[in-house]
Chain A
């Protein structure tokens, strides 16, 4: 068992980066940053303002990049959208500043490593037909973290949720992380991954699709969603209606895919007792989400029973906590 003070867990998500470490006294401490940036024309006034507000930024010729939580404020001020270093759970191949901004964000969130410090970061399951993208993503992030002096390890995102929230079930069950870019699912048996997959219908998909049918920007949709949206069936409000439709689509997409994956898997263990499902991630926080997912699970046929569908204790930090537990193990 590694020294608990000398390890970190990192949830490297499309929309947020969350770092977990053990607290001074006991428990866990989390630090999060929006995984987005905004490009602003350079001016001394802007730079002074960024400095004053403590917003991390980087000067690059005649432009300035503000990233992290402060980037959103600037995007709202200018009426534009933030840019994302990651897309669908992986480094964004269409974003020329992807690598630089990810490196900046990692430095900001994790800092330089202490002597022999270990870190475990989350990786999604390989997206269909994009295994090589995952390899590139994993290797690149590993290099970046090694550059900061860490001993690096990675962990499947769905499995991290299992580690964080299925302790009472001996780490047996289904962990689902509903993130921004991807939904990651892992069926685990005694902490060993039996099946994992991902879908790209996640938070960003909902934002993009809703924005497209309501003629709003994705930032507006996301802020509306985060204000306390609830899945409530048919609604007169077009935003509510569109969000309900796409949330429903994402939920059905996950459960139906799980049904198919389980049916085609040759290596699933025999679950002789019902197993729990634990859900986490920002996209699972919508009102009524938990109820809709439980309903959807009842509509599919699986070779094992589901005992309960439960929300993670700390849905936003669950993946980071799981990676921290994994980092604490001998690496």
Chain B
């Protein structure tokens, strides 16, 4: 995969960057833009309009990520006109396209003739709607060391085992196939009409789960039982294709479903990253599960007593490999409870796998519990006492920040929080219906571990394989 934005993207950044006078703001713009445009760089994909088309696509991405707007960096008339052309081009009607090709040709001709249009106030109609507080706060934070990527590669394959250059070993013994990934990316934020802006096949993030399964005590005399339960769990997960990877209590990594295919790990779930919203993470995220007991990550149990050091060490290597291979940003490595929702009740945390206690730092990631949740900040999802109990009495900081952003947004719109929440709930359900209608192949199943302060074993989850409709 490409590690850097293409040449057209670079030119665009170099065009707009110098307009920002403050050094740190300019650096932030360059880093954020690079990261947004990096995703648009798909090796081998050709654009019918060549470099001009690639520039437009990049421009479009920057506008959607709220990096260019009338309030901050206002693209000139030619850019606005080209953007309008691009967006109309995407409207599926042949007549439009013919008219637009002519319009684009005209713009290109005038551009080539060197006609300077300057900035036209009326051009704002094409601009993205104003950035919302939530979108502004939760735009992916560019780390000062921007995604320093390790060079991790497959060193050798021996039978069903893979060895990677960072020491990661993966067993393919339980490998099963589902189908290729394909998911819609939506424009994020309540300030914009939620609509599909892209369709992708590449995983964009990681979701960390726990199996909450039966774990025999780790004693010498239990060897046979340990092996038996381990096999039983892997067999069940493999049959149901519940995750992409499982890390057992000894730190052995098993690939259950190939990364390029979907797995049934997240169910009703959503996550937003910069200006992009992802619904149903089965398709867009990779699921990694840690073998653990139901109560092993309960708030009153020290984490190290449940999940082992070996598992964290292995997950760190696995995370490195996956981030390197698919260009996944650290901000998109999250836990199941951060993304899981119940859309009918508009509640977050339908699953509470890690109960707000995932040690991000131990797997080489920033503390993503500080991140804004789109479900709460943009859509007004709430939580109930069961969720708070499962978390040990207090929600993680990102939830509180998100709630405050939602309240701010409601005030900006001169609505009460309740009214705004109702409005957003209707929009979200409509969005879910749209997703279901446009992608009938989409699967909403998940690994079936429901929230409860005590936790539920996978065995009981067999009886409840479907989420609420």
User: Cβ of A223 < 8 Å from any Cβ of B?
Assistant: no
Measured between alpha carbons, how far is A245 from B10 in the docked complex, in Å? 41
Q: How far is the CB of B272 from chain A (nearest CB, A)?
A: 16
Inter-subunit contact B141/A331 (CB<8 Å): yes
Q: Please encode chain B, from 23 to 42, with 1 for each CB lying within 8 Å of some chain A CB and 0 for all others.
A: 11111101101100000000
- A123 to chain B: closest residue by CB: B145
Contact of B7 (CB < 8 Å), options: A159, A170, A272, A329: A272
B448–chain A nearest beta-carbon distance, Å: 36
Known contacts A163-B27, A190-B4, A329-B28: A170-B13 contact under CB 8 Å = yes
Q: Mark B1-25, 1 if CB is under 8 A from A, else 0.
A: 0011101001001100110000111
Please tell me if A52 contacts chain B, counting CB pairs below 8 Å.
no
Q: By the criterion CB–CB under 8 Å, are A153 and B145 in contact?
A: yes
Contact A170 B30 (CB under 8 A): yes
The answer to whether B7 and A167 have CB atoms under 8 Å apart is no
Which residues of the other chain, B, contact A192 by a CB distance below 8 angstroms?
Answer: 3-4, 31, 34, 146-147
Asked if B27 and A190 make an inter-chain contact with CB atoms under 8 angstroms apart, the answer reads no
Q: How far is the CB of B212 from chain A (nearest CB, A)?
A: 32
Is A326 at the interface (CB under 8 A from chain B)?
yes
Indicate if the CB atoms of B7 and A330 lie closer than 8 Å. Answer: no
**A interface majority secondary structure:** mixed
Instruction: Determine how close the nearest CB of chain B comes to the CB of A76; give it in whole angstroms.
Output: 38
Taking a contact as CB atoms closer than 8 A, the residue among A1, A190, A327 that contacts B10 in the complex is A190
A172 to B151, CA, bound (A): 21
Assuming the contacts A1-B24, A191-B31, A192-B31, asked whether A329 and B4 have C-beta atoms less than 8 A apart, the reply is no
Q: Given A153-B143, A190-B34, A331-B143, check contact A4 B18 (CB 8 Å).
A: no
B13 touching A1 by the CB < 8 A rule?
no
Cross-chain contact of A267 among B5, B25, B30, B151 (Cβ < 8 A): B151
B18 neighbours in A (Cβ, 8 Å) = 168, 170
Q: Which residues of B contact A325 (CB under 8 A)?
A: 23-24, 27
Residue A18 interfacial (CB < 8 Å): no
Residue A171 at the chain B interface, CB threshold 8 Å: yes
User: What separation, in Å, do the CA atoms of A193 and B27 have in the docked complex?
Assistant: 13
B23 near A167 with CB under 8 A, answer yes
Which residue from B7, B10, B34, B148 sits with its C-beta under 8 Å from A156? B148
Q: Is B144 an interface residue (CB 8 A)?
A: yes
Contact with B along A154-183 (1 / 0, CB 8 A): 111001000100011011100000000000
B27's partner among A4, A167, A189, A269 (CB-CB below 8 A) is A167
For residue A120, CB closer than 8 A to chain B, the reply is: yes
Residue contact B27 to A191, C-beta cutoff 8 Å: yes
- For this complex, 19 residue pairs linking A to B, each with C-beta atoms less than 8 Å apart, are A1-B24, A154-B145, A167-B27, A170-B13, A190-B33, A191-B27, A191-B34, A192-B146, A193-B146, A194-B3, A194-B4, A266-B151, A267-B3, A323-B144, A326-B144, A328-B28, A329-B31, A329-B143, A331-B141
Going nearest first, the 8 A-B pairs with the smallest beta carbon separation are A326-B144, A330-B141, A269-B4, A328-B24, A190-B34, A170-B14, A191-B30, A191-B31
Interface residues, chain A, CB within 8 Å of chain B? 1, 4, 120, 153-156, 159, 163, 167-168, 170-172, 189-194, 266-267, 269-270, 272, 323, 325-331
B interface residues with partner A (beta carbon < 8 Å): 3-5, 7, 10, 13-14, 17-18, 23-28, 30-31, 33-34, 141-149, 151, 366
